[in-house]
Structure formats: structure tokens, C-alpha cells
A = this chain, B = another copy of it.
Amino acid sequence: MTVMHTPAATARPTPTRTGTCAPEPPRHPRPDGQDHYTISEVVAFTGLSAHTLRWYERIGLMSHIDRSHTGQRRYRNRDLDWLDFVGKLRLTGMPVADMVRYAELVRAGDETRAARRALLESTRGDVLTRIAELQDALAVLDVKIGLYAEGTES
């Protein structure tokens, strides 16, 4: 289901271990009583880069964003809600291509509800598997750390 199932499987787990010393983008809370935001505001809310936001739109992960009279993007609250959800999907490790597929299904309307649900259920299964793997690896790590602690290792 994941890492190393096929010798060719592309495993790409998460970390980017930062531990301490993370620059941490501001991640402002979204203000309310407003319904359009510039791209840089969305950057501040989501922590995504402007490049990434434009790229998401280009690949169809977001529906077309409204534009100002000069052609600048004006994100609306529903766009930010969608980005929040996409962020969760991203955390699950779902490939972007699958997220795009989900987005297309949403745009396609009501008949795709079953397919969308199936996609989420499958992702749910992946997440459970991944959690189990992590817990397994954690146990090994704990044993090893224990050996170092008592001075038995190496």
C-alpha cells in the first residue's frame, strides 16, 4: 500500500525535519467580514507560496479565481475553504494528481458524489496504513534509542 510495495514504488514520506530553528511563515488567521483577498494575503493565510497558488490554479486543483479589473487574482472565502481542505489532503500524502481528480469530480457536479466518496475512503485507508507503518517504525526507533540510553548499542 505504500513504501516499497513494488520495487519501483516511489516512496516519499514527509519530514523535512526542522525540529528547532524553523523560519515559520506568519500564517495569519483569516479576517472575517470580507470576501476578497489578494494573492499575498492568501500567502499569509495559508503559508503556501504565490507560485504554488498560481500553479494550483493552472493544474486545475483550484477552479478559476475571480480577477480584479486589472487582471489580478481576488480570492474569496470559498477559495480559502477549499485551500484548507486541500491542505488536509496534502497532509494525508495524497498525490496532487489525485487531488486534481477530486477537484474535477467536484466541478462535474452531483453525479460524481459516489466517486468522490470512494476517493476519500481510499485515501482514508492509505492514511491508516501509513499511521500503522509509522507506529511500527517508531517502535523500532524506541528500542534503538533505549539501547543507546543504557549504553548497549554499538
Q: Which A residues form the contact surface with B (CB < 8 A)? A: 1-19, 22-25, 43, 46-49, 52, 85, 87-95, 98, 106, 110, 113, 116-117, 120-128, 130-131, 133-138, 140-142, 144-145, 148-149, 153-154
Contact = CB atoms under 8 A, between A and B. Distances in A.
Contacts of A122: 17, 19
Given A7-B25, A47-B4, A48-B4, A15 B124 contact: no
The list of the 10 closest CB pairs from A to B, nearest first, reads A13-B93, A12-B12, A117-B148, A91-B137, A7-B49, A15-B93, A88-B140, A92-B137, A13-B14, A14-B93
Q: Tell me if A's interface is mostly helix, strand, loop or mixed.
A: helix
User: How many of these chains are in the complex?
Assistant: 2
